[in-house]
Amino acid sequence: MTQPLVDPFQRAITYLRVSVTDRCDFRCVYCMAENMTFLPKKELLTLEELDRMCSTFVRLGVRKLRITGGEPLVRRDIMTFFRSMSRHLDSGALEELTLTTNGSQLERFAADLYAAGVRRVNVSLDTLDEEKFARVTRWGRLPQVLRGLDAAQAAGLKVKLNAVALKGFNEDEVETLTRFCATRGMDLTWIEVMPMGDLGNEDRVGQYWSMKDLRARLSESYTLTDLPESTGGPARYVRLEETGQKIGFITPLSHNFCESCNRVRMTCTGELYMCLGQEDMMDLRPALRNHPGNDAPLEQAIRQAIGLKPEGHDFDYSRQRADGQVSRHMSHTGG
């Protein structure tokens, strides 16, 4: 039997996040510069290579696959990949196939995603104000995303919203977003903004806003009950007693969640990052490309990479400098 993936700190690696493209139809101010240079197409893993990579991880015990980007739904023919991955759901090897999206293409693809076995999607949405939405995403338009949300729910997909908490930008929308989600039966998770990449823009919309402050803000209007559940990731959850809603807080910076980390991330070029906050990575592409038809070298490279997974990350805002900042963009490692 194949040995499952276990890192040096005895954490079983069962969750893989895969970026399938670094491109995007938005230019969110905290994620990309407006004039981003993208990778040449030939650098990207082909859809067949992505399939082989993911299938190898599944064989090694990965039970949950999250597809991300850039914007995963702008990759040409990405539905072929989703449809192909669904065989692992059918066999029971994979528990969940899911994606994180900006929602712009959901109107087109929601039904196909459901047909491919996807049951849940995370949609990133920081504001319900059209003008603010255009400002923070630069190229995005809110009505298109709202139609995407409708289409996703109509197709039977469970939707969770992810909102990046930005001081001076969406502080005043905590209640509005909470109510919006409550009305539509969607969970909501807030994310602390992380110092990623050189965004080349001075006009940062909003700044770091701690989950502690956001929580305090929420508790002015609602009764919060901490939920014990953890998904092995950086999110912690509360229930709002008044609405029964689950609200998540992702605090990669101000909390240490590393001890329960069960995940690794692969870029669209086949680099495996063992930790979001560290530069250590292993390029899996040579093992893949140099050995067509033989997955043994790839399996070995993956095991070697997992053997390098660090105990924890290194972000530190308290030093008031960019210490701990990692130079790559979120769209590269896939959030």
212 is in an annotated binding site: no
Least spacing, CB of residue 206 vs ligand SAM, in Å: 11
Residue/partner pairs of 305-308 with CB below 8 Å, 24 or more apart = 305/264, 305/272, 305/274, 305/281, 306/5, 306/6, 306/7, 306/13, 306/264, 306/274, 307/7, 307/8, 308/274, 308/280, 308/282
CA pair distance 144, 76, nearest whole angstrom: 19
Residues in Cβ contact with 160 at an 8 Å cutoff, skipping those fewer than 6 apart: 120, 121, 122, 123, 186, 187, 188, 189, 248
Give, as ranges, the residues between 283 and 312 that touch ligand SAM (CB under 6 A).
none
Can you tell me whether residue 276 is helix, strand or coil? coil
**Tokens coding 308:** 């390098």
Q: Is 181 annotated as a binding residue?
A: no
Given a contact cutoff of 8 angstroms between Cβ atoms, the answer to whether 94 and 85 are in contact is: yes
Site for ligand SAM in 12-51 (CB under 6 A): 24, 30-31
Q: Does 71 bind ligand SF4 (CB under 6 A)?
A: yes
Report the distance separating Cα 101 and Cα 122, nearest Å: 6
Q: Which is nearer to ligand SAM, 56 or 333 (CB)?
A: 333
Q: Residue written as tokens 């899996």?
A: 284
Q: Least distance in Å: CB of 6 to ligand SAM?
A: 27
Spatial CB neighbours of 321, under 8 Å, sequence gap ≥ 6: none
Is 54 marked as binding a ligand? no
**Nearest residue (CB) to ligand SF4, 13 versus 194:** 194
Among 16, 164, 188, 306, binds ligand SAM (CB under 6 A): 164
Q: State which residue, 30 or 81, has the beta carbon closest to ligand SAM.
A: 30
Q: How far does the chain reach from its first CA to its final CA, in angstroms?
A: 32
Instruction: Kindly state the smallest distance separating residue 245's Cβ from ligand SF4, in Å.
Output: 24
Told to check if 272 binds ligand SF4 by CB under 6 A, we report no
Residue 14, binding choice from ligand SAM, ligand SF4, none, Cβ under 5 to 8 Å by partner class: none
| 268 assigned to a ligand binding site | no
Which C-beta is closer to ligand SAM: that of 187 or that of 295? 187
Asked if residue 30 belongs to a known ligand binding site, the reply is yes
Query: Cβ neighbours of residue 54 under 8 Å, at least 6 residues apart?
Result: 16, 18, 62, 65, 85, 88
Binding residues for GTP: 17, 66, 100, 160, 263-265
Binding residues for S-adenosyl-L-methionine: 30, 70, 124, 194
- Give me the residues that bind ligand SAM (CB under 6 A), please: 24, 30-31, 68-69, 71, 100-102, 124, 162, 164, 191, 193-194, 196, 330-331, 335
- Give me the residues that bind ligand SF4 (CB under 6 A), please: 24, 26-28, 31-32, 69-71, 102, 124, 331
